[in-house]
Amino acid sequence: MCLHCNNRKSTKLRILVTPKAVVHSFWVSVRDGALAAGDDLGVDVIWKGPPTETNIDNQISIIEDYINQRVNAIVMAATDSKALIPVTKRAVSAGIPVITIDSGIDSDLPVSFIATDNILGAKLAARTLVELIGGKGKVACIPFVPGSATSIWRETGFVEEIKKYPGVELAAVQYSQSDVATAMSVTEDILTAFPDLAGIFAANEAGAIGASQALLSRGVAGKVKIVAFDAATNEIEGLEMKLIQALVVQNPYKMGYLGVKTAVDIINGKEVPKRIDTGVSMVTKENLYDEEIQKLLYPTGKTE
């Protein structure tokens, strides 16, 4: 196993795993799963992605580089559902299978897509938020990057579900750009425009942290309820401090592990599912320390 293995003489299979970014706890967990699969299966895992989720051109460049290096497979979390289609076509034309994890593309070219059911998760978030605010009031949605499939699906699922509740008004939709400072700024703007805001759905880690910081600075933390995706350390701390009321938790470790395992299966000529759902769980302060939740949050063990 290696993070940046360029030894073309290696007899091991070489699999590029390229996330949307190398920042955020979510991607660290994906990396851990991918590298664990590399160890278990005896393949070289090349972990390389853009610095942030908005660096679409950088991810395309990384993939082009490893197509030229003739890796055996590519596992990709696409920064953009459309912009990554041409480079995926190039990989497939070169005989390199592509598997998408977390965020797919608008194409059937990838052999398999391994991810959360993001629409289902967002609908669960909407129902939870509605319950937290007593079924009435104004809420805001903070997706992350326009064009990112996961952001689109989470926004879509949330908006669709919120429409079912006549007492709840979707007052604002603002993007965080997967940046904590931007998320804090847009939350401040929303609070200024809607001082009676009752709740926020933050669609990823950066959105959750930025929104909770904004609520804290305004003195309305806990009063304005937050339901968010992901389970970064700061988000779990926010849950414990009642800054955040609920977290929609995915299984990024499983995504990374199954991404590599599926790539190996494909290379070895095995049939693989076109779609693999890695599941979703709702985590609150009440169930945070349940054994199964702790295993989900800390798949490699909790570090102090």
Q: For 46-85, how does the pLDDT look when each residue is reduced to its tens digit (9 = 90+)? A: 999 999 999 999 999 999 999 999 999 999 999 999 999 9
- β partners of residue 230: none
**Do 45 and 15 form a contact (C-beta atoms < 8 A)?**
yes
* pLDDT at residue 30, rounded to an integer: 97
Instruction: Answer whether residue 177 shows pLDDT above 90.
Output: yes
Mean pLDDT of the region 280-292: 96
Q: Alpha carbon 137 to chain centroid distance?
A: 28
Rg (CA), the chain: 20
Instruction: Answer whether residue 157 shows pLDDT above 60.
Output: yes
Collapsed DSSP state (helix, strand, coil) of residue 295: helix
| Torsion sign, CA atoms 127, 132, 138, 141 | negative
Query: What does pTM read for this prediction?
Result: 0.90
| Cα(171)–Cα(98) distance, integer angstroms | 39
- All CATH 3.40.50.2300 domain ranges in the chain, comma separated: 14-115+251-273, 118-249
Name residue 152's amino acid: I
Containing H/E element for 236?
A: helix 233-240
* pLDDT at residue 198, rounded to an integer: 98
* pLDDT at residue 3, rounded to an integer: 53
- The architecture in CATH of the region 14-115+251-273 reads 3-Layer(aba) Sandwich (3.40)
For 222-266, write each residue's pLDDT tens digit. Answer: 999 999 999 999 999 999 999 999 999 999 999 999 999 999 999
What's the mean pLDDT when you consider all of the chain?
A: 95
Mean pLDDT of the region 20-43: 95
DSSP string, 49-80: --SSTT-HHHHHHHHHHHHHTT-SEEEE--SS
User: What percent of the chain has a predicted confidence (pLDDT) above 70?
Assistant: 96
Shortest CA distance to 102 belongs to which of 85, 117, 123? 117
The CATH label, of 3.40.50.2300, 3.10.129.10, 3.30.300.30, 1.10.540.10, for the domain at 118-249 is 3.40.50.2300
State both tokens at 204: 């990823």
